[in-house]
Chain A
Amino acid sequence: QVQLKETGPGLVQPTQTLSITCTVSGFSLTSYYMQWVRQTPGKGLEWMGFIRSGGSTEYNSEFKSRLSISRDTSKNQVFLKMNSLKTEDTGVYYCARDMGAYFDYWGQGVMVTVSS
Chain B
Amino acid sequence: DIQMTQSPASLSASLGETISIECRASEDIYSNLAWYQQKSGKSPQLLIYAANRLQDGVPSRFSGSGSGTQYSLKISGMQPEDEGDYFCLQGSKLWTFGGGTKLELK
Are B46's CB and A102's CB within 8 A? yes
Are A106's CB and B32's CB within 8 A? no
B25 contacts chain A at the CB level, 8 A cutoff: no
User: In the docked arrangement, what's the CA distance between A46 and B89, Å?
Assistant: 10
Residues from 58 to 101 in A contacting B, C-beta threshold 8 Å? 58, 60, 94, 99-101
User: In the docked arrangement, what's the CA distance between A21 and B89, Å?
Assistant: 24
Task: Tell me the dominant secondary structure on chain A's binding face.
Answer: strand
Are A108's CB and B49's CB within 8 A? no
Are B97's CB and A101's CB within 8 A? no
CB distance from A44 to the nearest CB of B (A): 6
0/1 per residue, B86-98, Cβ < 8 Å to A?
0101111011110
> Which chain B positions have C-beta within 8 A of A99?
49
Are B43's CB and A101's CB within 8 A? no
B50 contacts chain A at the CB level, 8 A cutoff: yes
Are A44's CB and B50's CB within 8 A? no
Residues from 22 to 81 in A contacting B, C-beta threshold 8 Å? 35, 37, 44-47, 58, 60
B-side residues, CB < 8 A to A, are 32-34, 42-46, 49-50, 55, 87, 89-92, 94-97, 99-100
